[in-house]
Amino acid sequence: MTDLRPAGGRPPTDQLLSAQATLVVLLVTTALLLLGSGLFGTLTAVRASIEGIPTGSVGLIMSAYFAGFIAGTFACVHIASQVGHIRAFAVLAAVVTASVLAQSLWVSVVAWIIFRFIAGICLAGLALILESWLNAQTLPERRGHTFAVYMVVNLLALACGQLLLTTADPAGFALFSVVAILFALSLVPTAVARVEAPVLQTASGLSLGDLVRRSPVGTAGCLAAGVTGGAFWGMTPVFLAQSGYLENQIALFMFVTIVGGMLAQLPVGRFSDGRDRRRVIVLVAAAAAGSSVLVMLAALAPFGALAATGFLFGACMFPLYGLSVARAHDLLTPDQALAATRGLLLVFGSGAAFGPLAAGFVMSALGAAALFGWIALIFAGLAVYSAWRLRFSEVVAPADQAHFVAAIPTTQEALEMLEAEAYDDRTQYPAFRSTGDNSGSPET
């Protein structure tokens, strides 16, 4: 497996200002893409309900996106290396724009599965290119800060993208046009960016089997986070639409849930630092199961109560991926960190591809409200499994723990920055201390 890394080291001082300007350009491009992506996913689910597509088929359509995203995170590395970042970005942006417009014109289950799969590949490639650019433009000592800003931009754009659903009738052509416009506009900033071209390097290997053996709770947590996250993103709009809520209420629920997750990540993560993280995963997974049941019950209550339970659900669900990754890093050495996080990303993505498909069939058999009941069972299973693993001697001393990083799953190119955040290289590992380089220390 390969990853894109900066070709050189620290850019000359006289180029620092241009590098900072390029960073802003790349973050603006990220915001445009995530605004469009956030709207696109919710719009697809809502429009599918309006068109009367069976719930099981909707799950298959939504799963196709995550399957495409997994494929794109690996395949698009080679595309970018062959034709260059700017050309690859232009091609992928053009293709995803075309797929959005085609989806609005051709309403068919098979066609939508194909279009969503293509969109997943393209958006994974676009994110990968942007993240490799961020790595190339960021000084080593600033990568932790850049990663944190990048995550905030991701979550805010995804949340605000939900609100765009209220700007037009989802049964029409206009909202698909808005998504296409946002994707097309993302081409503009990258066309003027000054970029230090990355080169291909080989990452250290760690097999998935070794990862499971080293950190069974961390791996199980990423799988559960993927299954529930895929079900949430793909099928929650369907659940709300079939429960009788209007499009503006669906958009607001999704927005509030994402904001709840964004606000809870750092407090929950910092609480887990210095403790047996398995116990924190047990508590958070149990709370997520309880909040899932509350969402299911609140579907019969006034919308304000439903939104409040959504906020609580997001606050419990979103930190689980970061907690699971941090638990795995607790048991690893720095040279294994990048490969391990890639493995965890693959586990998460596989779960996310399975989640909407399974949820769709559960909802078809038991009704729309069964979505959050099924999600509650997944979280409860994670809590029980993590509690059972407490019987085994996998306790990590606080001084040897990695630091929690507030993160959402993205492509492997963000993982270099995540790896820098996950370890305090200055104090834990003599091999790093001997270099006199403190650039790997986490931001606080």
Residues 108-138 pLDDT 10s: 999 999 999 999 999 988 888 887 777 666 6
- Tell me the per-residue pLDDT of 83-115, one tens digit each, with 9 for 90 and over: 777 788 889 999 999 999 999 999 999 999 999
| Count of helices and strands (H, E) across the chain | 18, 2
CB count within 10 Å of CB 184 equals 16
Q: CB–CB of 28/437 below 8 Å?
A: no
Residue 194 pLDDT more than 80?
no
Contact 345, 412 (CB under 8 A): yes
* Phi, psi values for residue 301, rounded to 5°: -100, 175
Q: Select the highest-mean-pLDDT range: 17-21, 67-71, 88-92, 98-102.
A: 98-102
Instruction: Count CA within 13 A, CB hemisphere, residue 232.
Output: 26
Q: Residue 355 in contact with residue 229, Cβ under 8 Å? A: yes
pLDDT number for residue 45: 94
Segment among 19-23, 54-58, 345-349 with least mean pLDDT: 19-23
- pLDDT for 416: 58
Give the number of C-alpha atoms closer than 13 A to the C-alpha of residue 184, restricted to the C-beta side: 11
Report the topology of domain 2-425.
Growth Hormone; Chain: A; (1.20.1250)
Give the domain ranges of the chain.
2-425
In the structure encoding, which two tokens stand for residue 403, read together? 């630091």
Task: Collect all residues with Cβ–Cβ distance below 8 Å to 366 and sequence separation of at least 6.
Answer: 373
Q: What angle do CA 57, 61, 65 make, to 5 degrees?
A: 160
Q: Quote the mean pLDDT of the chain.
A: 80
Does position 330 have pLDDT exceeding 90, yes or no?
Answer: no
What does pTM read for this prediction?
0.80
118 compared with 391, residue with greater pLDDT: 118
Q: Backbone dihedral region of 84: left (phi > 0), alpha (psi from -120 to 50 degrees) or beta? A: left
Q: Let me know: does 124 contact 68? Beta carbons within 8 Å.
A: yes
Gap between the Cα atoms of 41 and 22, Å rounded: 29
For residue 17, what pLDDT band results from cuts at 50, 70 and 90? Answer: very low
Q: 399 pLDDT exceeds 60?
A: no
Q: How confident is the model at residue 431 (pLDDT cuts 50, 70, 90)?
A: very low
**100: alpha, beta or left? (left if phi > 0; alpha if psi -120 to 50):** alpha
Helix boundaries (H) for 367-439: 370-389, 415-422, 425-428, 430-433
pLDDT at 23: 78
Q: Residue 208 is inside which H or E element, if any?
A: helix 208-214
Most confident of 72-86, 273-287, 413-427: 273-287
108 φ/ψ angles, rounded to the nearest 5 degrees? -155, 140
In one-letter notation, the amino acid at residue 53 is I
Task: State mean pLDDT over 23-52.
Answer: 91
| pLDDT score of 337 | 62
Closest CA to 337 of 251, 275, 403: 403
CA of residue 212 relative to chain centroid, distance: 21
Out of 313-317, 347-351, 435-439, least confident range: 435-439
pLDDT value, residue 442? 29
- Please give the single-letter amino acid code of residue 206: L
Task: Please give the distance of CA 170 from its chain centroid, rounded to a whole number.
Answer: 25
**Residue whose C-alpha is closest to residue 38's, from 408, 378, 418:** 408
